[in-house]
Amino acid sequence: MVKKSTPKIKLEAEVKSKKPAKEEKPAVPARYFESLGSRKNAVARVRLYTKQPGVLHINDKDFREYFRESRLQKEILKPLETMNVMEKLGASVKVRGGGLTGQAEAVRHGLARALVLFNPDFRKRLRRAGFLTRDDRMVERKKYGLKKARRAPQWAKR
């Protein structure tokens, strides 16, 4: 006894409804220079693009929107200004951990390292400016019996 299989016919509307619509992402330039920068507990992954001049995004926001303080904005742009490549290069940054100041300095460190990958001749000037050295200062831990790392409880003679 032979069973005949019935062909499964799906309606065109069923097939279309099951497939999710793909959102088109903006085309990202293929050529970039990637590096990591860090400060305290903040880590920044920096991608330096040659085809997006003058664009600097941090965590998918404009850097002025992410870092509202002008002091932090200036800190981030120092390596680019030192090498006079503000209008020639753009960057995309993902930064995590730490506070705003640590994140800003991590971005600065990452940008400086990416600039060296872009052009090794920049190394000497960036090193002299102190942008390539990872600032290894960390918060000192609290000790028992003290109020903070070094602050002792108030002492009274009587």
Tokens of 140: 């000192």
Residue 19: exposure state from Cβ atoms within 10 A (0-12, 13-18, ≥19): exposed
What is the residue-level pLDDT of the chain in tens, covering all 158 positions?
A: 566 666 555 555 555 555 555 665 555 545 899 999 999 999 999 999 988 888 899 999 999 999 999 999 999 999 999 999 988 999 999 999 999 999 999 999 999 999 999 999 999 999 999 999 999 999 999 999 999 999 999 999 98
pTM reported for the whole predicted model:
0.77
CA 14 to chain CA mean position, Å = 43
Q: What is the pLDDT of residue 40?
A: 93
For residue 105, the SS3 value is helix
Helices (H), the chain: 12-18, 63-66, 70-82, 100-118, 123-129
The residue behind tokens 């831990």 is 141
CA–CA gap between residue 74 and residue 58 (Å, rounded): 14
CA–CA gap between residue 46 and residue 113 (Å, rounded): 9
Q: What is the pLDDT of residue 31?
A: 83
Domains observed in the chain: 32-129 (3.30.230.10)
Q: What is the pLDDT of residue 150?
A: 97
Q: What is the pLDDT of residue 51?
A: 85
